[in-house]
Amino acid sequence: MKTAVTELLAIKYPIVQGGMMWVGRAELASAVSNAGGLGTLTALTQPTPDALRVEVERCRGMTDQPFAVNLTVLPTASPPPYAEYVQAIIDSGVKIVETAGNAKEYFDRFKAAGIRIIHKCTSVRHAQSAERNGVDIVSIDGFECAGHPGDDDIGGLVLIPAAVSALKIPVIASGGIADGRGLAAALALGAQGVNMGTRFMTTQEAPIHRNIKEALINGSERDTVLIFRTLKNTGRVFRNAISEEVVSIERRPGGCTFEDVRPLVTGARGRGTLESGNVNDGLVWGSQAIGLMNDIPTCAALLERMVKECREQLDRARAYM
């Protein structure tokens, strides 16, 4: 299945595993790459740049196929040493990065090192800015996605073709995609590939507790909630006791501040939930695509099935002509 994305990234199928905090580790990234997609390590899951170097080598020991490293740059009161993580990526010989947030200042360093840049955006205007700044591929993230969909609330059916029409570089469709029908739709809308996060969380190789995987696949498309809306930092997460409490606090008369919800949403608490399997102990990030999932396959089985379904759906559409 050749597209501009498979050619640029030297992969078999135009299917990318997006970066996911605490989930994007060598076990999952290598399994996706071995299955023909592009696996992705999440840099900030590793506590230090040196730990990231070790994780890259661990992944390299599990696959001889291309894989990426995700680096999400966000404004925080106590930012991690982003520049040192960038250097660790370069020193490790990684050839593909997935960036998100305000990563522009590192693009020149990545490009000088011969690294392909996939930049994740939630709007056409930000995608155009990323193109001007020299990225190779834009991953456009629709409102259905897990994580932070931005505040424009534009679904993929509109956002994907809008981005394709506005850009000259290849577009990867992200958000709400979980099967071959989604891949076929993305290609029909002009994208050159897809990015999936939540669907890869529910594979056998994902390094999280099985209880979390089962909770996700047993959920419907209505079992996510939007948090941080009142804080202008919208996030989509799985509906559980913690996310419901956050929403309740945000709805209090007079609103709330981040400090009001901080104890509920800490990264450490979320990591603990993924590891313990107690679904109601912390935030679990998930997309509306959970309504399309009903099993926990291997990455290899998932990708082969997706490609088969995609071809069947495209052939079915051609039959109407």
Which residues partner with 40 through β-bridges? 68
Q: Are 236 and 146 in contact (CB under 8 A)?
A: yes
Q: Which domains are assigned to the chain? A: 4-208+295-318 (3.20.20.70), 210-288 (no CATH)
Note the pTM of the prediction, 2 decimals.
0.96
Tens of pLDDT along 191-249?
A: 999 999 999 999 999 999 999 999 999 999 999 999 999 999 999 999 999 999 999 99
Q: Considering just the CA atoms, what is the radius of gyration of the chain in Å?
A: 19
H or E segment to which residue 140 belongs: strand 137-141
As a whole number of angstroms, the distance between CA 28 and CA 151 comes to 30
Q: Could you read off the pLDDT of 81-107 as tens digits, one per residue? A: 999 999 999 999 999 999 999 999 999
CB–CB of 59/30 below 8 Å? Answer: yes
Which tokens sit at 238?
Answer: 């799985």
Residue 125: CA count within 13 A, CB half-sphere: 4
- Whole-number pLDDT of residue 75: 82
| DSSP sequence for 39-105 | EEEEGGGSSSHHHHHHHHHHHHTT-SS-EEEEEEE---SS---HHHHHHHHHHTT--EEEEEES-GG
The residue among 49, 8, 43 whose CA lies nearest residue 29 is 43
